[in-house]
């Protein structure tokens, strides 16, 4: 599901996200991908993470056997981060979508710090694998 008719994206981003999920989960998962504005991501961040301010991506995973996830992306923050990290918008979007896919697959860097290093190692692996493809 894509929200935000003004946001044009390349289908390759969804394909890459699906490839990461297939490789990590080895089972079907339904993912709703929603693009929201700064105000909406800030509200979600405060309500569900008790964090002030906007963020680039939020991932919510439901269920055990039948997995479903919602991924909320703020295009504006992704663009700001791309500028801050001297990266292209496409590379930064790829980073947040791979990051979200790893959260869907069960990796966590916030509440389970033991998996943090592994998560970021895998994120770098997938970025190298799919960047410029």
CATH architecture label of 11-130? 3-Layer(aba) Sandwich (3.40)
Residue at token pair 């390759």: 12
Residue 7: the pLDDT is: 61
* Annotated binding-site residue numbers: 99, 103, 109
Cβ neighbours, 10 Å, residue 51: 14
| Binding-site sequence positions for Zn(2+) | 99, 103, 109
Task: Assess whether pLDDT exceeds 60 at residue 4.
Answer: no
Q: What is the pTM of this model?
A: 0.89
Q: How far is the C-alpha of 131 from the C-alpha of 95, rounded, in Å? A: 9
Give the list of residues 6+ apart from residue 7 with CB closer than 8 angstroms, or none.
Answer: 35, 75
What is the residue extent of each domain of the chain?
A: 11-130
Split at pLDDT 50, 70, 90, the class of 2 is very low
pLDDT tens-digit profile of 10-37?
788 888 999 999 999 988 888 989 999 9
Structure tokens at 29: 């998962």
């Amino acid at each position: 599901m894509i929200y935000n008719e003004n946001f044009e994206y390349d289908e390759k981003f969804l394909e890459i996200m699906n490839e990461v999920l297939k490789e990590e989960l080895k089972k079907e998962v339904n993912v709703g991908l929603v693009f929201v504005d700064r105000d909406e991501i800030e509200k979600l961040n405060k309500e569900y993470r008790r964090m002030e301010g906007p963020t680039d991506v939020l991932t919510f995973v439901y269920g055990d056997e039948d997995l479903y996830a919602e991924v909320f992306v703020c295009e504006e923050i992704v663009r700001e981060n791309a500028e801050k990290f001297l990266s292209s918008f496409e590379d930064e979007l790829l980073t947040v979508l791979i990051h979200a896919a790893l959260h869907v697959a069960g990796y966590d860097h916030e509440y389970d710090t033991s998996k943090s290093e592994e998560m970021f190692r895998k994120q770098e692996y997938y970025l190298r694998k799919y960047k410029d493809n």
